[in-house]
Structure 1
Amino acid sequence: MNAHVGSASAAPPNMTEALRAEAAIEPDAPIIGEVKKQTQIIAIYGKGGIGKSFTLANLSYMMAQQGKRVLLIGCDPKSDTTSLLFGGKACPTIIETSSRKKAAGEAVKIGDVCFKRDGVFAMELGGPEVGRGCGGRGIIHGFELLEKLGFHSWDFDYVLLDFLGDVVCGGFGLPIARDMCQKVIVVGSNDLQSLYVANNVCSAVEYFRKLGGNVGVAGLVVNKDDGTGEAQAFAEAAGIPILAAIPANEDIRRKSANYEIVGKPGSPWASVFEELAEQVAIAPPLRPTPLTHDGLLGLFKGEAVGRGVVLDPATMEDMCGTEAVTKPSLEVVYEGA
């Protein structure tokens, strides 16, 4: 279809005057006043089983009791981030809900995937069943759906993202790689494996900072702290602060196993999470200094990590379980070659 488009000069006199009048209107002056709050989006990483979900459930609960608007998003395929918050009850995940609604020809609503307890808003991204898909791709799909649900227009003081630190594929590095958060917090303990993961996260942050990224590490939360000091030594060497040290305590372990929140105001452990909430709010995103593998091993006593072990190269006899027979070469060698 062809349409004739007229110019302003060819427009009737009354339209020309209207266009001129519209062009003469000055734009609104920039608003000068108190800056509106900015949501702090914080990604929490750590080794599987180190206590990220325990830490986040209690931290988010304490923040909500302090009057903050908090959204907790579980980004672990195990979908266990919110289980402690909801007393052990499973929260329907975004991925499974999306699949079910799509099959039924229905749209996902916020009430299908987001739930509340005592001021904390929480949801789980979820992931595919074992052997049936990529967990990292599931994370990406989950965030795509969050955007459709209006994620960028939600009004929260804090959005806490619980990410598995053992896995290094793209989806789990999304907040760091795409500047989706302002800062990262690492949960670790006084053991080599959890600090190895913490060091990997610091390495990822440093890598993307070199590429122009803006995410930094706010600090380390030491969970199950037994006082041996390796986690503190790591934080000092990496140039990041200790935000809180949660002691290795039987009462905490027992209550956590029973899906009880220990970070309630007035509880015996309230001060730990009050301090953590304060530090999380004010800790700046720092550029860490990741350790080399030998540097990481150096934080531990030799008998604890097996230093001094010599790498003994294998031979062909070892591989074949018998003596290897050296066969003559069939290569043709020409004179003067």
Structure 2
Amino acid sequence: MSGCGSAASSGHSMQDFLRAEAAIEPDPVVTTTPTKETQIIAIYGKGGIGKSFTLANLSYMMAQQGKRTLLIGCDPKSDTTSLLFGGRACPTIIETSSKKKLAGEDVKIGDVCFKRDGVFAMELGGPEVGRGCGGRGIIHGFELLEKLGFHEWGFDYVLLDFLGDVVCGGFGLPIARDMCQKVIVVGSNDLQSLYVANNVCSAVEYFRKLGGNVGVAGMVINKDDGTGEAHAFCKEAGIPILAAIPAHDDIRKKSANYEIIGRPGGRWAPLFEELSLNVAEAQPLRPKPLTQDELLGLFSSEHTGRDVVLQPASLEDMCGGSVAEKPSLEVIYETV
């Protein structure tokens, strides 16, 4: 009996601990000036568009060119660094922090930051489904980075991989709080990825109007099949194309096998060498977000609904037939 009571008591105290921790409001994110001239670049794009693939190869090429590069995955899926480490998952900052806190220990750099061939990388991570807010997890992750000395690290480039489908809360921190100097969007020749890219441009423009300084440095077109919609979007939005990665079967197979293709001397090396140069030199611009109709106008009407006419529904439609007229209960007062 005593053993059961002890287990129940332990489970109850753990629940109390977690509830108390969840009730604590996060500290404001510190955005002090880095001690070294570091380019902090946030990369946004639709989920599955190839941000992690692009960043793993870009960061690898940058490191081979002698640039001190840190890659930080800020997507709750925690898959930014998987290609870089051959499919292996890194312990995330949020998960490691929780375990260390329960054990009464402090988090150290070696617990959350790992390296390969000169590239430094880490994953912020996120809560399990239904157990917390991903954006809040991002905020907590950056708080810990501050405590670990983020602004004292001597990197040339810090690349932040953010989910572009959501640009609110913690996911919008780099734009809303000037935590980065510029934003890069990853897109393709499909409406959904360009919708997300346009959404990111709208967020940048909104915060610029509020006095923010972050700009869009350009787009990386991934899986480019030559149809031209992404090129047309960049022209209309007033942002440059930093690279166009072709929809090539060799790239697809090597990426699926967790193989880095951004290696000096390799078949695709010139592509990532040019991308590295363009990322370094691209200036943060003020984009011109498109309206929904302008975005749809980039595509043929066969592939979008822009020729569809909106037909208002009636009450009869909603009820599936005729509707009996009911007397009004409204009280009408006679005017004198």
Q: TM-score, normalised by structure 1?
A: 0.88
Partner of 1:49: 48
Aligned-residue CA RMSD in angstroms?
1.0
Residue 287 (structure 1) aligned with residue 286 (structure 2): yes
What's 2:315 paired with? 316
- Report the residue type matching 1:57 in the other structure: A
Specify the SS of the correspondent of 1:304: coil
Q: 2:91 aligns to what?
A: 92
The residue type equivalent to 1:214 in the other structure is N
Q: How does 1:36-115 map to 2 (within 5 A)?
A: 38-115=37-114
Post-superposition, which runs of at least 4 consecutive aligned residues in structure 1 deviate over 6 A?
A: none
Question: Residue 94 of structure 1 aligns to which amino acid in structure 2?
Answer: I
Query: 5+ residue gaps in structure 2?
Result: 1-34
User: 1:27 corresponds to which residue?
Assistant: none
Q: Any idea what SS the aligned residue of 2:303 has?
A: helix
Q: Is the 8 A contact 2:293 2:306 kept in 1?
A: no
Letter of the 1:272 partner, please give it: L
Which residue of the partner structure matches residue 142 of structure 1?
Answer: 141
C-alpha distance in 2, partners of 1:268/1:142? 37
The SS at the match of 2:100 is helix
Report the Cα distance in structure 1 between the residues aligned to 2:319 and 2:105, rounded to whole angstroms: 60
The letter of the residue matching 2:183 is V
Partner of 2:332: 333
2:87 alignment partner, SS class: coil
Q: TM-score normalized by structure 2?
A: 0.88
Match of residue 189 from structure 1: 188
Q: Which amino acid aligns with 1:97?
A: T
Q: Write the distance in 2 (CA, Å) between the matches of 1:219 and 1:282.
A: 11
Unaligned runs of 5+ in 1: 1-35
Q: Give the greater-gyration-radius structure (CA).
A: 1
Task: State the secondary structure of the residue aligned to 2:232.
Answer: helix
Cα distance in 1 for partners of 2:208, 2:331 equals 54
Matching residue's letter, 2:306: R
Quote the residue 1:13 is aligned against.
none
**Does structure 1 residue 214 correspond to structure 2 residue 218?**
no
1:126 is matched with: 125
1:37 is displaced (CA, Å) by 5.7
Q: Which letter maps to 1:55?
A: T
Could you say which residue in structure 1 is the equivalent of 2:255? 256
AA aligned opposite 1:132: R
Residues 213-252 of structure 1 aligned to structure 2 (within 5 Å): 213-252=212-251
Determine the structure 2 residue equivalent to 1:7: none
Aligned-residue sequence identity (percent) comes to 84
> How many angstroms apart in 1 are the aligned matches of 2:289 and 2:251?
31
Partner of 1:26: none
Q: Which residue number in structure 1 is paired with residue 116 of structure 2? A: 117
Aligned residue for 2:331, secondary structure, equals coil
Offset of residue 144 of structure 1? 0.3
Q: How many residues align?
A: 302
